[in-house]
Chains A and B, each alone.
Chain A
Amino acid sequence: MIRIANGQGFWGDWREAPIRQVEGGPIDYLTLDYLAEVTMSIMQKQKRRDPRLGYAKDFVPLMERLLPQCVDRQIRVISNAGGVNPSACAEAVIDVARKLDLRGVKIGIVAGDDILDRLDALIDAGHELRDLDTGRPLSAIREHVQSANVYFGAAPIVEALRQGAQIVITGRCTDTGLTLAPMIFEFGWKDDEWDKLAAGTVAGHIVECGAQCTGGNCQADWQSIPDLANIGFPIVEAEEDGSFIITKHEGTGGRVSPATIKEQLLYEIGDPRQYITPECIADFTTIQLEEVGENRVRVFGVKGRPATPFYKVSISYFAGYKAVGTMVYSWPDAYAKAREADRIVRQRLADLGLEFDEILTEFLAVNACHGPLAPDPPSDIAEVQLRIGVRSTDWAAVDRFTREIAPLILTGPPTATGFAGGRPRVEEIIAYWPALLPKSEAEPSIEIVES
């Protein structure tokens, strides 16, 4: 049995989590997921400004804190912290290891996922990289592309582990691959053992969002979930046969139960019979759960099928500008005041002749989350926040909008407040374009460096 701990569900997740995962009990692997879809474009921008940047910088001080213990206890770390510059990330970790006087620490670098420089060649070769949602070919937005990365799976991580890496730093790879890789490595699973690969993929899916499977963001009886302030992050106790137990360290808060696991299993999936990864297709309708102890759920019975011949590609592109402005109105007639203020802003924008792709108004505390499904607010509602968002490819129009919120204070309905944050910011929209690429068109590279 091996223990694989997740210590980070996204870049910006709880900073204490990875430290507690290492210090709070026995583990063999620590996995850390840093990359969301928009993260890659931010990192490309940083790398363009400084070729030594373009990775999750938080990873380096974290390694400074944890590396001595990880070396001591032979805990291996697997992370996609490399972003668009995994070798620079590895170099920074090597520097830290030297500073700590830790010699001979091997770091595996998985790269080759970045295909930004090859896009034109790929398009010329007939790969249209159509948007999986809309069907449009990439040529429609080619000049706006900011980043383009193939999602590799577990395979290159496994290879890095085989070459002795204590830490594996990747660029874009599937979240599930971070967890599946140590299972393939430790148990020697073959490329065509679909059920086992699917089981490891399911384990990866359960833990990839950190504490979202251990009681965080859980609706089932949420008020009874103990000590969320000290929530334990998930640990997979994996067996060679593909079955595994999800648990968390003793003495931590949160809960592991069939209900918390089911919520995460259903998170961000489509057809449950076809959960597609580079390794296999996992069938979520075959998953069996059994509560085998306090905060221990056994997962077994998972079936899988052969993988598809494609990698998923994550492309980001510039798609215009947006801004969001807010204003709070108090009792009496809070909702009526907020609606009137919205009407005034819209009239002023129209009178200026400004055009937007979209203007969206929401009233927080009334209908922002549930829209038309929300019931009418009480007539004596204490306060309402007006929230107006605009979107346009015309920067000047969005900029002018940001100057139409503050004037409401003295030129609109009474009791306007909550404007101390100042003028809204004009934000660039970096949108996401998912596509497919034949696996033969992208080859991962693996390099080992040593402190």
Chain B
Amino acid sequence: MVRVPLFKLAHARSGDKGDTANIGLIAYKPEYYPLLVEHVTAERVKEHFRGICHGDVERYELPNLGALNFVLHHALGGGGTISLRTDAQGKTLSTALLRMVIEIDEETARRLGLE
């Protein structure tokens, strides 16, 4: 297996609606999108954000944009003006998601030039 950090495969943008954050995860190349769909599941993202996101995580697919949208509930310390966090609006949760490392098989890695 080959370990690949998400920041090599995708870029992202995050924002807030109250205490809910969303993270758009966008594949750099169309051929990376299936990897995101397979490996970056809602469960995996909830686990990744343990200690930050205290609610459910929903995932939506946008194959037309080669992108996934994650909605993280109770993820901003109360949100908006209530939150005491530096990043009360969740602007940096995008790059926090890009810290995730996924494991892909060697043949796929070779085919996609990700070795």
Interface of A toward B, CB cutoff 8 Å: 37-38, 133, 217, 219-220, 259, 262-273, 284-289, 319, 322, 324, 358, 360, 362, 364, 368-373, 387, 389-391, 429-432, 434
Contacts and interface: CB of A to CB of B under 8 A. Distances in A.
Contact of A133 (B19, B91, B95): B19
B96 A370 contact: yes
Contact of B86 (A285, A358, A364): A364
30 contacts: A37-B80, A133-B20, A266-B22, A266-B24, A266-B65, A266-B67, A269-B22, A269-B24, A270-B20, A270-B22, A271-B58, A271-B60, A284-B65, A289-B65, A319-B81, A319-B82, A358-B78, A369-B86, A369-B92, A370-B96, A370-B99, A371-B51, A372-B52, A373-B99, A390-B84, A391-B84, A431-B80, A431-B82, A432-B79, A434-B18
Contacts of B16: 268
Nearest to B25: A266
A interface SS class: mixed
B36 interface: no
B50 interface: yes
Interface residues of B, number: 45
A286 B62 CA distance: 8
Interface in B39-54: 48-52
Given A220-B26, A285-B64, A368-B87, 14 more contacts: A263-B12, A266-B13, A266-B22, A268-B17, A268-B22, A272-B60, A284-B62, A285-B62, A288-B64, A319-B81, A371-B51, A371-B96, A373-B49, A430-B81
B80 A432 contact: yes
Contacts of A285: 61-64
A368 B93 CA distance: 11
Contacts of A263: 11-13, 24, 26
A38 B80 CA distance: 9
Contacts of A266: 13, 22, 24, 26, 62, 65, 67, 69
Contacts of B92: 369-370
B96 A324 contact: no
Contacts of A362: 85-86
A429 B50 CA distance: 27
Contacts of B77: 358, 360
Contact of B24 (A267, A286, A389, A430): A267
B57 interface: no
Return the 10 tightest CB-CB contacts between A and B, nearest first. Answer: A266-B24, A389-B84, A268-B15, A360-B84, A369-B92, A263-B13, A372-B51, A220-B11, A219-B11, A368-B86
B71 A270 contact: yes
A165 B18 CA distance: 35
Contact of B96 (A273, A369, A431): A369
Of A270, A286, A287, most B-chain CB atoms within 10 Å = A270
A362 B62 CA distance: 35
Interface of B: 11-13, 15-20, 22, 24, 26, 28, 48-52, 58, 60-67, 69, 71, 77-82, 84-87, 91-92, 94-96, 99
Of B13, B51, B67, most A-chain CB atoms within 10 Å = B13
A219 B12 contact: yes
B67 A262 contact: yes
Contacts of A390: 84
Nearest to B24: A266
A209 to B, nearest CB: 9
A37 B18 CA distance: 10
Contact of B81 (A370, A387, A431): A431
A429 B81 contact: yes
Nearest to B66: A262
A390 B80 CA distance: 15
Nearest to A220: B11
Contact of A387 (B24, B61, B86): B86
A270 B17 CA distance: 9
A373 B52 contact: yes
Of B20, B24, B65, B71, most A-chain CB atoms within 10 Å = B65
Nearest to A133: B18
A219 B64 contact: no
Of A38, A265, A319, most B-chain CB atoms within 10 Å = A265
Contacts of A431: 80-82
Nearest to B86: A368
Contacts of A284: 62, 65
Contacts of B63: 285
Contact of A267 (B15, B19, B48, B64): B15
Contacts of B65: 262, 265-266, 284, 287, 289
Contact of B95 (A219, A270, A286, A371): A219
A196 B17 CA distance: 26
A421 B106 CA distance: 55
Contacts of A259: 11, 26
Contacts of B11: 219-220, 259, 263
Given A219-B12, A285-B63, A372 B80 contact: no
